[in-house]
Amino acid sequence: MSIQKRIWLTGASSGIGLALAEQLAAQGHKLALTARSAPPLLALAERFPGQILVITADLTDPHAVREVGERIGAAWGALDLAILNAGTCEYMDLPTFDAALFGRVMQVNVQGTAHCIETALPLLRAGEQPRLVGVGSSVTFVPLPRAEAYGASKAAVRYLFQSLELDLAQDGIKVSLVSPGFVETPLTAANDFPMPMQITSEKAAQAIIRGIERGKREISFPGPFISLLCLVGHLPSALRVMLTKRLARPTTTTGGC
């Protein structure tokens, strides 16, 4: 992206978001960075004076997200690129299905993304060669144990962006979906299971920027891991289940007869 763009990036205070912010700022783009934590964003703004708008917000609050859009509109009048990266992850531990956990994950990953889309689209329609980018997950390629909430939320994001691509074509807004494998972030640092072929946030950001520059509708990485997931996901269902259920943890029950 050699031409300077006006970019809104959510979830920019850590992990992939912070790595994207650093690399995009180094390329000379104007960035509106949104997160709930301000200090990392302010530190980046000091390094790149005049390029960065720091806007803290809870993206599950529609009023706060609309205020983000108002600030971007007042500063630039339009957006050329929106990268909706903010998200969360919680794993389900059966035998008890935790509906509250499910709701929390869906609220952030799906409803929060929807609030951002609502705010971004009018600004993108006024932009130059506009593109909307959503960050999903490679978990959507194959169902996995304990991922009921996270996987369902990212499956919703996948369908949402693939459907938007059809409706936004008439507006000239391109759509891309990012489907990462395991990436070193504060979220994955809490994982208590093996994460094969894990890559750094910096490499993930490079892959995303490269995919956007190439106009890819699906940006998936790392390649070998994605190929493995897709292979398993396309197996006959009985064989797929036989393989993946081995990853499930034993459930414990108490009482009863």
CATH number (domain holding residue 235): 3.40.50.720
Q: Is 183 within 8 Å of 198 (Cβ atoms)?
A: yes
254 inside domain: no
253 inside domain: no
228 inside domain: yes
Q: Which residue has the tokens 């104007």?
A: 30
Q: How confident is the model at residue 243 (pLDDT cuts 50, 70, 90)?
A: confident
82 inside domain: yes
Q: How confident is the model at residue 197 (pLDDT cuts 50, 70, 90)?
A: confident
In total, how many domains does the chain have? 1
pLDDT of residue 191: 74
For the stretch 134-155, pLDDT in tens is: 999 999 999 989 999 999 999 9
Q: How confident is the model at residue 250 (pLDDT cuts 50, 70, 90)?
A: confident
214 inside domain: yes
1 inside domain: no
222 CB contacts (<8 Å, ≥6 apart)? 181, 197, 199, 207
220 inside domain: yes
Q: Is the pLDDT of residue 257 over 60?
A: no
Looking at residues 118-142, what average pLDDT do you find? 97
pLDDT of residue 204: 95
- Spatial CA neighbour of 78 closest among 44, 32, 109, 38: 32
Q: Is 149 within 8 Å of 99 (Cβ atoms)?
A: no
Cα separation of 186 and 16, whole Å? 10
pLDDT of residue 2: 64
232, with CB counted inside 10 A (0-12, 13-18, 19+), is middle
Q: Is 36 within 8 Å of 108 (Cβ atoms)?
A: no
User: For a pLDDT cut of 90, what percent of the chain falls above it?
Assistant: 83
Cα separation of 57 and 62, whole Å? 10
Which H or E run contains 44? helix 39-47
Looking at residues 84-94, what average pLDDT do you find? 94
pLDDT of residue 114: 98
Cα separation of 13 and 1, whole Å? 22
Looking at residues 90-119, what average pLDDT do you find? 97
For the stretch 70-87, pLDDT in tens is: 999 999 999 999 999 999
Q: Is 92 within 8 Å of 130 (Cβ atoms)?
A: no
| Residue-range definition of the domain harbouring residue 93 | 6-247
Q: How confident is the model at residue 195 (pLDDT cuts 50, 70, 90)?
A: confident
Q: Is 82 within 8 Å of 173 (Cβ atoms)?
A: no
Q: Is the pLDDT of residue 256 over 50?
A: no
Record the pTM: 0.92
Q: In terms of C-beta distances under 8 Å and separation of at least 24 residues, what long-range contacts does 21-27 make, across chains too?
A: 21/52, 22/205, 23/202, 23/205, 23/206, 23/209, 24/209, 25/51, 25/52, 27/1, 27/209
Q: How confident is the model at residue 193 (pLDDT cuts 50, 70, 90)?
A: low
pLDDT of residue 251: 64
137 CB contacts (<8 Å, ≥6 apart)? 150, 151, 154, 157, 179, 180
Sign of CA dihedral 119, 125, 127, 128: positive
pLDDT of residue 159: 98
For the stretch 2-28, pLDDT in tens is: 689 999 999 999 999 999 999 999 999
For the stretch 95-107, pLDDT in tens is: 999 999 999 999 9
Q: Where are the beta strands (DSSP E) in 17-60?
A: 30-35, 52-56
Average pLDDT of the chain is 92
211 inside domain: yes
